[in-house]
Amino acid sequence: MASLLVALAGFVAVLLFIFGLKRMSSPVTATHGIIVAGWGMALAVLASFLYLADVQPAAEPHRAVNLLLAVVALAIGGAWAWRGGRKVAITDMPQMVALYNGMGGGSAAALAAVVLFERGGEGGSLLHQVVTVLGALIGSVSLAGSLVAWAKLDGRMKSAWRFKGQREFNLVVFVATLVLGGVTIASGDGALAWPLLFFVLALAFGVLMTLPIGGADMPVVISLYNAFTGLAVALEGFALQNPALMIAGMVVGSAGTLLTFLMAKAMNRSLANVLFSNFGEAAGGGQAVEGEMKAVDAGDAAVTMRYASSVIVVPGYGLAVAQAQAKLYEFVKLLQAAGVDVKFAIHPVAGRMPGHMNVLLAEAGVPYDMIYDMDDINDSFAATDVALVIGANDVVNPAARTDKSSPIYGMPILNVDQARQIYVVKRGKGRGYAGIENALFFQKNCDMVYGDALAVLNEMVQAVKALGE
C-alpha cells in the first residue's frame, strides 16, 4: 500500500513539475509556475516518508534513527534555504543558483555512493550498476564544477587557471575515472578503495573541467551543470527504480540542455568552444578602433531623453552591481509621464546567468510588456531617438557584425549603434569580458556618462524633475 501511495504521489508531483515549468516559460506566469513546482517538490518529499512503513527487516532497527536524521536534515536545509533566499542580493543570484545546482548533483552522487559502497557489491543488475556509476560521475562533476563556478562568480577565484597540456591532462583524468568506474562494477567484492578513488577522480575532473573557463562563459556553464544535475538525478532514479526521480531528472536535464545550446547560440559559439577555448580571458584581437570616447554630464543626457520621442534602455551587469534597477524605473516613469515611449531590450547572455536582467527588472516592478527580447526589438533601434546602455559591453559591440578578426565576430548583438543618439553609463573605460575595445563607444553618435549607475541615474532623475519645477 505504501509503495502505491508513493507512486501516486510521485506521479502527481511530476505533473506539477511539468506544469510549473510550462508556466515558467512566460514572465507573466513565472511566479505561479515556481509555486506550483514547489508544491510538487513538497509532495514528493513528504511522500518519501511513506517508505518507512514498508522497510526491509534488516532496516527495521534503524527506522527511528533514520526518520530523525531525515527530519533534522530537512529542517536545517529548509531553514538555510529560506534565510538565504530571502536575504540574497540580486547580484548574488547566479552564485546561489550555481551553489544549489551543485547540491543537486551532489545529492545524486550521494545516492549512487550508497549503492557503490554497499557491502558485497550487491548493487543490482549489471545495467543498474552501470547506470549508477554514470549518475555518480555526472553528479560529482556537476557538484565540483558548480562549486568552482560559484567561486568565480563570487569573486573568490579571480581568473581562469590554465597550464600547458591541460586538455590532454583532463582527458587522461576522465578516462581514468571511467576505468575506475568499470573496476568498481567488476570487482563486486565490497572493497572501498575502488569506489573511493572513483569519486575522488570524478570530483577532480569536475574541478579541472571548470577551472580554465572564462567568466564570460559562466551563464552557459551554469546551464550546462543544471543539465548535468538533471541527468544524474534521472539516472539514479532509474537505478533506484523511482519513477518520480527519473521523470523530474529528465525534465530538468532536457530543459537545461536546451537552455545551454540556446545560450551558446546566442554567443555564436559551439558548446565545445565554450568548454575548451580561452574566450573571456585573453585580451586583444580585432581591428584597432579609431576615434575617441566623449564624456557628457548625466543631467544633459537626461534632458535629451526627456525631450525625445522614443528611448530604448539596454541593461547589463553593471546595473545589477550598482543595485540601480529601482532608480532606473523611477527615471523611466518620469520619461513616460512626459510622453516618451520607453522600452527595455534584453540580450540573451546579458548578466551572469540566463534571465538575469529579466529578474532584475521584475524586482524593480517594470511591467513585462515593456521588456523585449533581442530578436523582437532589434529592428526598432534604427527608428529610436535615444538608446541608453547601462553596464553592458560586449553584447552591444558592433564589431561582432563588422570585424571578422574580432573574438566576438558573428555573435548576435543588440543593434544599439543604429540609434540616433546613444548614451552609455559605465564606471570607467574598462573592456568587456572579451578583452577588446567596444567600437560603439567611439562612434560620433555615442556619448559616455561615467560613474556608478545608481549615482548617475539619481542625477538623471533630479535633472528631469527640475524641468517640471
Condensed to tens digits (0 to 9), the pLDDT of residues 409-444 reads 888 889 999 999 999 999 877 666 666 788 899 999
- Strands (DSSP E) contained in 158-293 are none
Note down the domain range covering 186: 94-282
The per-residue pLDDT for range 339-391, each reduced to its tens digit, is: 999 999 999 888 777 778 888 888 888 998 899 999 899 999 999 999 999 98
pLDDT of residue 22: 84
Last residue of a domain, one of 236, 251, 282: 282
Query: Would you say residue 231 lies in a domain?
Result: yes
Same domain? For 275 and 306 the reply is no
- DSSP for 80-127, please give it: HHHHHHHH--GGGHHHHHHHHHHHHHHHHHHHHHHHHTSGGG--SSHH
DSSP single-letter state for residue 420: S
Percent of the chain at pLDDT exceeding 90: 32
Find, among 179, 110, 161, 96, the residue nearest to 140 by Cα: 110
* Residue 256 shares a structural domain with residue 392: no
Is 63 inside a domain boundary? no
User: Which residue, 17, 10, 15, is CA-closest to 35?
Assistant: 17
The CATH number for 375's domain is 3.40.50.1220
Output the pLDDT for position 120.
Answer: 43
My answer on whether 307 and 377 are in the same domain is yes
Domain end point (choices 282, 310, 330):
282
Closest CA to 236 of 137, 99, 145: 137
Let me know: does 408 contact 279? Beta carbons within 8 Å. Answer: no
Q: DSSP code of 289?
A: P
Q: Are residues 201 and 235 in the same domain?
A: yes
Q: Is the pLDDT of residue 172 over 90?
A: yes
Final residue in a domain of this structure, among 220, 249, 282? 282
302 plus 274 within the same structural domain: no
What's the DSSP call for residue 55?
A: -
Q: Are residues 454 and 385 in the same domain?
A: yes
Q: Which residue has the higher pLDDT, 435 or 116?
A: 116
User: For residue 285, is pLDDT > 60?
Assistant: no
C-alpha closest to that of 347 among 402, 255, 411: 411
342 DSSP β-pair partners? 311
Q: Which three cell numbers stand for residue 10?
A: 510521485
Q: How many domains does the chain have?
A: 2
Same-domain pairing of 370 and 455: yes
- Residue 272 sits in the same domain as residue 344: no
270 and 122 share one domain: yes
Cell of 236: 539514479
Q: What residues are annotated to the active site?
A: 394
CA atoms within 13 A of residue 23's CA, in its CB half-sphere: 16
pLDDT of residue 355: 77
Q: Is residue 118 part of a domain?
A: yes
* 3 state DSSP class of 63: helix
Query: Are residue 245 and residue 304 in the same domain, yes or no?
Result: no
Does any domain span residue 9? Answer: no
The rounded distance, in Å, linking the Cα atoms of 160 and 152 is 8
Judge whether 118 and 190 are in contact, CB under 8 Å: yes
